[in-house]
Amino acid sequence: MCGIVGYIGEKQAAPILLDGLSKLEYRGYDSAGIAVYDGEQIHLTKSKGRLKVLGELTHDGETMPGTLGIGHTRWATHGEPSDANAHPHMNRDKSIAVVHNGIIENYLKLKKRLIDKGYEFMSDTDTEVVAHLLDRYYDGNPLAAIIKVMHRMEGSYALGIVFKDHPDQLFAVRKDSPLIVGHTQGGNIIASDVPAVLKYTRDVYFMENEEVVCIRRDSLEFYNVDEEQIEKEPVHIDWDVDAAEKGGYEHFMLKEMYEQPKAITDTISPRIKGRDIVIEELGMTDEEIRQIGKIMIVACGSAYHAGVTGKYVLEGMAKIPVEVDLASEFRYRDPLLDEKTLVIIISQSGETADSLAALRESKERGAKVLGIVNVIGSSIAREADNVMYTWAGPEIAVATTKAYSCQLIALYLLAMKFAAARGTVTEKEMDAYIDDLKRIPDQVEMLLNNKNRIQKFANRYLAAIDVFFIGRGVDYAISLEGSLKLKEISYIHSEAYAAGELKHGTISLIEDGTLVVAVLTQEKLYKKMLSNMVEVRTRGAFVLAVTNEGNDEVERAADYVIYVPRTNSYFANSLAIVPLQLFGYYIAVGKGCDVDKPRNLAKSVTVE
């Protein structure tokens, strides 16, 4: 959520800030602003709306000269989207400018104290408190003032700070919200995420919690909260710059769907050695795997849906009890954990606030934590006991496609590894799993190449008001993700239900013309699903079925059928989800929605 960019160097700052912010638009925002120091004063321009408005106001940065500056795209938490609430925020004499990602939990208490001291507030944000606190504690030493403010603030924050008295310095702070520092040719840059700096550098420093960095044109100095200087090593980013560009596709989401075969292959290939599953980063011996008494999968959004699939696969293959929790609920139900519990935290960004909090809670309670993340060096990757990367590359669209698909693959591989270690599958079964897994990339590509039928069908339902997705077993997990894809980018109300729950209330919502998407990939459950489809169809529903090739019987109970290649039933999600991704995408495109940046949503949810 929110995007921060800051620059100090030999070049003009404003164009770099605007360019960097444009690479962070996927994070979600409702206003934007930049502050640039020209050597005499700090100039501020900000506005509600898209970044292009800010570009027009500043003539793409040309009207704001200066080689030091900070920029921000805001996702509203405190105060409505408005020019006044947009960042950066400044102190009373305009000598300090601040941008902030996160939430200051005790801001009301701090704000009251500042008002009592005579400070006036121009916005409804929690961030303005930071600017005035810095003003209060600043006595000529920026580092000392920043650390005093850090000791008084509660919550999460990444900060970019400019002091008028120090034209050769840019300061940045990190606590729980992500922030990176990159060394560029002739200067240095800060940002919330890697895509903002790829154009300028591939060597970045990932800031840890409660670290401060003082940045000059030609140097970086990192400090802890005791004002002690610390040493940090840069991480080299191997992503191709083109990976963060659209590459001729109309939307990032479509491009990323088409990148799924390669991303899946990249996630599978390093972990299959001959006929064995080798996950070196797991850091567990076969004996330790056999000692696992319970697995808890904790995640949010699509990652949670991947976890629901993981439960079926892990329990089915490896015979280990698995619980799946929404990260936002995990800490508040007093989970039962011990040293025989493996907690798997799944997150694309590796910065999801609720998931990170669940990770820390799990470690405090003595559980071993495995992170499944896509971003190298992210907080979850660093803090988990071990990390398994999904090699999806940068994912820019807010609605995940390829990262979700790679999370599924990672869970399949874990299940196969655990099953082999625990002796719950035969050698013949394992060989079959490996063969089916290797075929998935080609099968996904085939489905993507047959997108025209799905596009034509989607065009018929642009005016849909309610859509219901139903399935059983793994198909229920697929339905959850298919429903989310549709609602988050097309704004059509959509719900997913375990098909057996229809008669427990949901079926009362079915009326003439209601679209019901039925997923049938689990052969053992065909008959029960066909019965559910007949139930909704007789009440006026139009039924779209997604099923395996050869299941011709489904045509008697559905109005429209999409066939997917056959694979092992555990892996069916990886294929059945593709037409549902395409369906949601073409509905959203047909309605004229902003597919890559849906309203009110953020790619990386870094606040609770």
What CATH number does residue 397 fall under?
Answer: 3.40.50.10490
**What pLDDT score does 598 carry?**
84
Q: Which amino acid is at 500?
A: G
Q: Which domain holds residue 460?
A: 450-593
**What pLDDT score does 286 carry?**
93
Distance CA 98, CA 89 (A): 5
**What pLDDT score does 241 carry?**
56
Cβ atoms 300, 348 nearer than 8 A: no
**What pLDDT score does 606 carry?**
47
Q: Does residue 248 have a pLDDT over 80?
A: no
603 is an active site residue: yes
Distance CA 555, CA 534 (A): 11
Q: Residues 262, 144: one domain?
A: no
Contacts of 550 (CB under 8 A, 6+ apart): 566
Instruction: Specify the residue for token string 């239900």.
Output: 497
- Which of 48, 311, 402, 603 is labelled catalytic? 603
Distance CA 11, CA 4 (A): 18
Distance CA 243, CA 446 (A): 22
Contacts of 52 (CB under 8 A, 6+ apart): none
Q: Does residue 604 have a pLDDT over 60?
A: no
| Number of domains, the chain | 3
Write out the H or E segment, with its range, that includes residue 440.
helix 427-449
Q: Residues 224, 281: one domain?
A: no
Q: Residues 471, 545: one domain?
A: yes
Q: How many C-beta neighbours within 10 Å does residue 557 have?
A: 20
Q: Residues 7, 119: one domain?
A: yes
DSSP category for residue 246:
-
DSSP category for residue 549:
T
DSSP category for residue 273:
E
Structure tokens at 267: 């996630």
Cβ atoms 103, 109 nearer than 8 A: no
244 band by pLDDT with thresholds 50, 70 and 90: low
214 is an active site residue: no
Strand 515-520 to strand 542-548: parallel, antiparallel, or no bridges (unpaired)?
A: parallel
Q: How many C-beta neighbours within 10 Å does residue 22 have?
A: 18
Distance CA 487, CA 584 (A): 8
Supply the DSSP string of 509-537, one letter for each residue. Answer: G--TT-EEEEEE--GGGHHHHHHHHHHHH
Q: Does residue 261 have a pLDDT over 90?
A: yes
Instruction: Specify the residue for token string 């870094």.
Output: 606
Question: Which residue would you say has higher pLDDT here, 177 or 4?
Answer: 4
In a domain, 150, yes or no: yes
Rounded to an integer, the average pLDDT of 139-156 is 93
C-alpha distances in Å from residue 362, one per residue of 220, 298, 336, 407, 418: 34, 10, 10, 21, 21
In a domain, 604, yes or no: no
Q: How many C-beta neighbours within 10 Å does residue 231 have?
A: 5
Distance CA 46, CA 88 (A): 8
> What is the separation, in whole angstroms, between the first and last Cα of the chain?
11
Supply the DSSP string of 208-229, one letter for each residue. Answer: PTTEEEEEETTEEEEE-TTS-E
Q: Residues 225, 114: one domain?
A: yes
Distance CA 422, CA 420 (A): 6
Q: Residues 79, 179: one domain?
A: yes
Distance CA 115, CA 71 (A): 27
Structure tokens at 287: 């004996």
Closest CA to 560 of 539, 548, 543: 543
Structure tokens at 322: 């698995």
Q: How many C-beta neighbours within 10 Å does residue 382 have?
A: 15
Q: Residues 145, 47: one domain?
A: yes
Quick: pLDDT tens for 483-510. 999 999 999 999 999 988 877 777 877 8
Closest CA to 401 of 258, 269, 497: 258
Structure tokens at 482: 């298919």
In a domain, 598, yes or no: no
In a domain, 567, yes or no: yes
What is residue 341's three-state secondary structure? strand
Name residue 34's beta-bridge partners: 45, 71
Rounded to an integer, the average pLDDT of 323-352 is 91
Choose the final residue of a domain: 441, 461, 496. 441
Rounded to an integer, the average pLDDT of 219-223 is 95
In a domain, 606, yes or no: no
603 band by pLDDT with thresholds 50, 70 and 90: low
Distance CA 407, CA 389 (A): 9
Quick: pLDDT tens for 67-117. 999 999 987 777 787 888 888 999 999 999 999 988 888 999 999 999 999
C-alpha distances in Å from residue 193, one per residue of 3, 31, 182, 496: 8, 18, 11, 32
Q: Residues 433, 315: one domain?
A: yes
Closest CA to 486 of 339, 360, 606, 593: 593
Structure tokens at 321: 């009890």
Write out the H or E segment, with its range, that includes residue 63.
none
Q: Does residue 240 have a pLDDT over 70?
A: no
**What pLDDT score does 242 carry?**
57
Q: Does residue 602 have a pLDDT over 60?
A: no
Q: Does residue 247 have a pLDDT over 70?
A: no
Q: Residues 362, 466: one domain?
A: no
In a domain, 608, yes or no: no
Side-chain-side CA neighbours of residue 363 (13 Å): 14
Quick: pLDDT tens for 264-309. 999 999 999 888 999 988 888 999 999 999 999 999 999 999 999 9
In a domain, 602, yes or no: no
Q: To 5 degrees, how large is the angle CA 498–CA 501–CA 503?
A: 145
In a domain, 601, yes or no: no
Distance CA 217, CA 188 (A): 6
Q: Residues 432, 473: one domain?
A: no
Q: Residues 177, 258: one domain?
A: no
Choose the final residue of a domain: 184, 205, 237. 237
Q: Residues 37, 14: one domain?
A: yes
Sheet holding 368-373, edge to edge: 322-326, 294-299, 341-347, 368-373, 386-389
Structure tokens at 426: 């035969």
Q: Does residue 325 have a pLDDT over 80?
A: yes
Closest CA to 379 of 133, 207, 588, 198: 207
Quick: pLDDT tens for 403-452. 999 999 999 999 999 999 999 999 999 999 999 999 999 999 999 998 88
Contacts of 79 (CB under 8 A, 6+ apart): 85, 123, 124, 125
Choose the final residue of a domain: 237, 264, 284. 237
Quick: pLDDT tens for 530-586. 998 888 898 888 999 999 999 999 999 999 999 999 999 999 999 999 999 999 999
Provide, rounded to the nearest whole percent, the portion of the chain with pLDDT above 70: 96
What CATH number does residue 86 fall under?
Answer: 3.60.20.10
Distance CA 521, CA 526 (A): 8
